[in-house]
Amino acid sequence: MAAKNRALSRGVAVVGAGMSNFGAFPGQSTRDLFVQAFQEMRSSVDKGLDPADIEALYIGNYSSDLFEGQAHMAALMADWTGLTPRPATRIEDACASSGVALRQGIIAVASGLYDIVLVGGIEKMTDLPISEVTDTLATAADMLYEIPAGFTFPGLYAAMATAYMDRYGATPDSFMSVGLKNHDNGAVNPKAQFGARIADIMAGKVAKAQKKGYPAPTWANEMAFLHDDRANPVIAWPMRLFDCSPVSDGAAAILLVSEQLAKSFSDDPLYIAGSGQASDVALHDRVELTSIGSARQASQQAYEMAGVSPEDIKIAEVHDCFTIAEIIATEDLGFFEPGQGYEAAEEGLTTRHGPKPINTSGGLKSKGHPVGASGAGQVVEIWKQMRGQAGDRQVTKDVDLALTHNVGGTGQSCVVHIFERR
């Protein structure tokens, strides 16, 4: 069944975007983090924002119920940002929650129902011990057929990684090249959970050992470190620690307005050129594990709506919850042919100085993955890069078209957006 892909009935623009730091913040609640994101978003609106003008909120949140014992988060976020009695809606689509919240906000503005909408993403994961975090994340997989068979999320993506290796000849080193790149990018992102290159992390471990009077490890280079089972243990082969996104807290906020209002808020708005969303069966039911069908469909819809092709996209933030996921994403989005994404990563084509910069923010791997906030966090990076405000990680080319790709679970949901700077 082909999805109809109508154009938006009126244009929608992003005129503000902000985020909290991503990381582990034991002393801060989701409310604190969202207020920080909201305040940064507000100060990013060039011509100022009176919060009283916001007409509705769409908040992406995966599982505050299980992570924090607190449900009904959207109304709470409206309260803590002073936006009651505005309608506040929570959107849950696993790790794609705030990407889907963005799409719902776009639909609401495009429909004419609202002119000014706040989109948010929130998650606080680090209050629970890791075993309970793993169990909570597992509820985004198939609890009937996958989890009882012993799968965790690292395990599910490891299955995709082994299938990819078998089919195309990639090796664990291919995945490591993605981790190296994303840590390089995260090192120049002040908001990132791991603000360190892998070389810096190695140096830190040597210094720590020396301080304690232990024999200092001697790795010849980063790859030697990444091959060391003690430094980089296997989580679910071939996914090691530095192939996994971390457990994170964080929030992000985006302001959407109708195209007609864009210039009254911003000197340099970003326009929504394309939006696509699709679903897929759970991983165990798929014909192939080396591609995510919902990502192919969602991106096709977004490209068609925007009237552009993958070659036109200058930068992209893609859903690298595991390093294999970034490689598959670059193929599903049409940046590289199936089976060539791993070579592109190895050859450096996706570094921030390469021809197709991917995850200049550090991606979920290094910036952090507070799951319900990750999709909105991707938009914050696109906002900064397209407006030339990304500091040390600013790409050198002019970014007139950029893309975000946000996956729920192992791809049962995917949402893709294309942003245009005119």
Q: Which of 183, 244, 319, 369 is catalytic?
A: 369
Rule CB under 6 A: is residue 16 a binding residue for ligand COA? Answer: no
Rule CB under 6 A: is residue 128 a binding residue for ligand COA? Answer: no
Rule CB under 6 A: is residue 357 a binding residue for ligand COA? Answer: no
| Binding window for ligand COA (CB under 6 A); candidates: 13-21, 35-43, 68-76, 242-250 | 242-250
Rule CB under 6 A: is residue 225 a binding residue for ligand COA? Answer: no
For residue 241, the minimal CB distance to ligand COA (Å) is 5
Q: Would strands 401-408 and 88-91 be described as parallel, antiparallel, or unpaired?
A: unpaired
Report how far residue 400's alpha carbon sits from residue 67's, in angstroms, rounded to the nearest whole number.
38
Rule CB under 6 A: is residue 242 a binding residue for ligand COA? Answer: yes
Give me the 298-337 binding string for ligand COA, x by CB under 6 A, dash otherwise.
Answer: -----------------------x----------------
For residue 321, the minimal CB distance to ligand COA (Å) is 4
The closest of 350, 403, 370 to 179, measured between CA atoms, is 350
Rule CB under 6 A: is residue 181 a binding residue for ligand COA? Answer: no
Q: Is 18 helix (H, G, I), strand (E, B) or coil?
A: strand
| Binding window for ligand COA (CB under 6 A); candidates: 15-23, 170-178, 244-252, 385-393 | 244-252
Rule CB under 6 A: is residue 244 a binding residue for ligand COA? Answer: yes
**Closest to ligand COA by CB, 44 or 182:** 182
Q: Is 8 helix (H, G, I), strand (E, B) or coil?
A: coil
- Edge to edge, the sheet with strand 270-279 lists 88-91, 56-61, 116-124, 249-258, 12-19, 270-279, 413-420, 401-408, 315-317
Report how far residue 32's alpha carbon sits from residue 10's, in angstroms, rounded to the nearest whole number.
34
What lies within 8 Å, CB to CB, of 242 at 6+ separation is 176, 179, 183, 198, 226, 232, 365
Rule CB under 6 A: is residue 241 a binding residue for ligand COA? Answer: yes
47 by Cβ neighbours in 10 Å (0-12 / 13-18 / 19+) ranks as: exposed
Q: Known catalytic residue: 95?
A: yes
**Closest to ligand COA by CB, 106 or 137:** 137
Q: Known catalytic residue: 417?
A: no
Rule CB under 6 A: is residue 95 a binding residue for ligand COA? Answer: yes
The closest of 126, 113, 85 to 10, measured between CA atoms, is 113
CB 38 within 8 A of CB 294: no
Report how far residue 241's alpha carbon sits from residue 132's, in angstroms, rounded to the nearest whole number.
18
**Interface contacts to ligand COA, rule CB under 6 A:** 95, 130, 134, 137, 153-154, 235, 241-242, 244-247, 321, 369, 371
Residues that are catalytic: 95, 369
